[in-house]
Each structure stands twice: as C-alpha cells, then as structure tokens.
C-alpha cells in the first residue's frame, strides 16, 4: 500500500538558515502529496500540496516539488524564522481516497 | 471562513468510563474523517464517513464507534476507556471523497486517568 517516509528530527537551525526536510513516498500511480504543519498545542494545518508530477506547492515561503523520478516531495525554505518552529508531516492518500497516510513527523526548532 | 469545530477541546476521563467526541464539519462538507494522535506520534486514521455512511475504517478499536448524522456532524463514542486511549483526536472534513480539500479541526485532547 501507499506509504511515506520522512527524515527524523529534531532539526535545529538558527534563524535565517536554509531548511530541507526530506520526504519520499511509495504509491500506486501519482497521488496528491501534502505537507501539514502542527504548531505546539494546535491542530494540523495544510501547509502546501501538489496534485501531479512536477507540480510545485508553495506557501509562507515554503516550497516542495513533486518529483516522480525520485519519488520525493522534499520541503524547503530559504530562510527560517523562530515562528516556523513546529512539527512537519508529509502525507499522501491511502489506497482508498478516504484517508491520509502521514509520515512520522519532523520537529523543527529554530533558535534566534 | 468557517472551520471544522470539535468539542470538547479537552476531556479527562477515568479508566473504564465512556467518552463522546463531537465534530462539526465545514458547511457543505459531506465527508468526515477521524484520526488519533498519540504523544509524539503521527496521526493514525480511525474511520471516515461519506454522506452518513461509513466509507473506510482504519485502526479503530472495537470499543470505539462513530456515526455521521443527517446534518453531517459526527460523533466518536469511546467506551471502556484505557490509559492508552489518551491522545489527541482530530476530525477533518472535505467536500466529496477526495482528500484535496482536507481541513482539520483543532482536536480534542483526551486524557484517561
């Protein structure tokens, strides 16, 4: 079945550093891919998505490109802020469209 | 814009008690999903409903049941609570069965003592 693997955290960066969080997937066909963010004590928020190969999702300075050749959807940001500290989840639909399968989450801590 | 509303936000129950969690989807959304997130874990899919019918079932214990009502709100009923049921429970909604428009609520934090 569909699955997703993302890099383990925590990732600790200084403010204005470059961020990459790796995500690779296994899937039948070319499903939509998502990044969700969870700030401390809060729910899951959709950060960005890509619905087909070579699409680039972007939001709040974050970007991720759907690469079918490498089955990857890595999250990047050129200059992180303290307010970006959160847990980031890569996700894709399960074998049925009724559910999302999440990666294990990567905790990002940005220090001033 | 209206979001997914979950109630209560926090709930404390004793072992072997029952709990009911409620989810009010975004207006016009007809599909509801329930997820469980243990401490430091990724969200795990429990169950989903489309047009008031169960559409998919994940790792939901037999002690749990859920339903979607005519106004599309959903309730997750949990009986014989165990310490391991302590978790964040998220509800999400979408229009139709596609996950393209998946919006999560803020969750209910259940603590079993």
Question: Chain A to chain B, count of Cβ pairs less than 8 Å apart?
Answer: 58
The answer to whether residues B43 and A94 touch, using CB atoms and an 8 Å cutoff, is: no
Taking alpha carbons only, the member of B84, B87, B85, B80 closest to residue B16 is B80
Cα A30 from chain centre:
17
pLDDT at position B47? 95
The answer to whether residues A78 and A91 touch, using CB atoms and an 8 Å cutoff, is: no
Mutation choice for B interface testing from A44, A46, A92, A105 by most B CBs within 10 A: A44
More reliable by pLDDT, A99 or A83: A83
**Chain A residues touching residue B42 (CB < 8 angstroms):** 89, 102-105
Mutation choice for A interface testing from B58, B94, B98, B99 by most A CBs within 10 A: B99
Tens digit of each residue's pLDDT (9 = 90 or more) over B2-58: 799 999 999 999 999 999 999 999 998 999 999 999 988 889 999 999 999 999 899
pLDDT at B96 over 90: no
Distance CA(B66)–CA(B54), nearest Å, equals: 9
Whether residues B56 and A93 touch (CB distance < 8 A) is answered with: no
pLDDT at position A12? 97
Tens digit of each residue's pLDDT (9 = 90 or more) over A6-33: 988 899 999 999 999 999 999 988 889 9
- Give B79 to chain A, closest Cα distance, Å: 24
One-character DSSP codes across B34-85? EEEE-TT---EEEEEEETTEEEEE-S--TTEEEEE-TTS-EEEEE-S--GGG
pLDDT at A83 over 90: yes
Tens digit of each residue's pLDDT (9 = 90 or more) over B61-77: 999 999 999 999 999 99
Whether residues B100 and A49 touch (CB distance < 8 A) is answered with: yes
pLDDT at position B75? 98
Distance CA(B23)–CA(B43), nearest Å, equals: 17
pLDDT at position B99? 60
Does B69 lie at the interface with A, CB-CB under 8 angstroms?
no
pLDDT at A56 over 80: yes
**Chain B residues touching residue A42 (CB < 8 angstroms):** 106
pLDDT-based confidence at B95, cuts 50/70/90? Answer: confident
pLDDT at position B40? 86
Q: Which residue has the tokens 């709040």?
A: A60
């Amino acid at each position: 079945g569909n699955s997703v693997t993302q890099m383990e955290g925590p990732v600790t960066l200084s403010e204005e550093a470059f961020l990459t969080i790796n995500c690779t997937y296994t899937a039948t066909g070319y499903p939509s891919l998502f990044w969700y963010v969870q700030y401390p004590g809060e729910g899951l928020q959709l950060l960005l998505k890509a619905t087909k190969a070579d699409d680039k999702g972007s939001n709040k300075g974050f970007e991720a490109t759907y690469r079918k050749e490498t089955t990857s959807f890595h999250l990047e940001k050129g200059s992180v802020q303290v307010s970006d500290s959160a847990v980031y989840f890569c996700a894709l639909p399960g074998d049925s469209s009724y559910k999302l399968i999440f990666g294990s989450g990567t905790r990002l801590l940005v220090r001033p | 814009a209206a979001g997914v509303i979950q109630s209560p936000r926090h709930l404390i129950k004793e072992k072997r008690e029952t709990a009911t969690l409620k989810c009010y989807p975004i207006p016009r959304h007809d599909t509801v999903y329930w997820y469980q997130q243990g401490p430091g874990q990724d969200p795990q899919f429990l169950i989903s409903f489309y047009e008031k019918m169960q559409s998919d079932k994940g790792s939901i214990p037999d002690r749990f049941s859920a339903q979607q009502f005519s106004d599309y709100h959903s309730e997750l009923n949990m009986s014989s609570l165990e310490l391991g049921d302590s978790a964040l429970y998220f509800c999400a909604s979408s229009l139709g069965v596609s996950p393209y428009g998946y919006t999560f609520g803020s969750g209910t934090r259940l603590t079993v003592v």
